[in-house]
Amino acid sequence: MKTKKLLILLLTSILTAQTYTVGDTLTFKVSGLVCSFCAHGLNKGIGKMDYTDKNNVFVDINNQIVKVVILKEPNIEETIKVISDSGYDVSRITYKNEVIWKKEK
């Protein structure tokens, strides 16, 4: 349990140390996207978050990625939770072509 709390604290500190620019894009590598229904569900769920909207969420089923245009300071942890709660697995997040989060194996 202590390891899990430490991992969450470390993840939070790493993600909050990042500065983001409005109009830039976060790219989530997501496993399990197979149909347009999957894409619509994720677009709707992530689009309700306060740092973006449904017009700024782009789901690419073929490449298994979700791109989110930042409209204000993003909540990465909550986005991972929305994706995971929808039944998909986030393996990596990139910002400005740099990996900012990677799932431990």
Domain ranges (residues) in the chain: 2-102
Work out whether strand 98-102 and strand 89-95 pair parallel, antiparallel, or are unpaired. Answer: antiparallel
**Tens digit of each residue's pLDDT, the chain (105 residues):** 555 555 555 555 555 568 899 999 999 999 999 999 989 999 999 999 999 999 999 999 999 999 999 999 999 999 999 999 999 999 999 999 999 999 987
Domain 2-102 has CATH 3.30.70.100: yes
Q: What pLDDT shows up at residue 18?
A: 81
DSSP 9-66: HHHHHHHHH----TT-EEEEEEE---SHHHHHHHHHHHHTSTT--GGGEEEETTTTEE
Helices 36-47 and 76-85, interaxial angle, to 10°? 140
Based on C-alpha coordinates, what's the Rg of the chain? 13
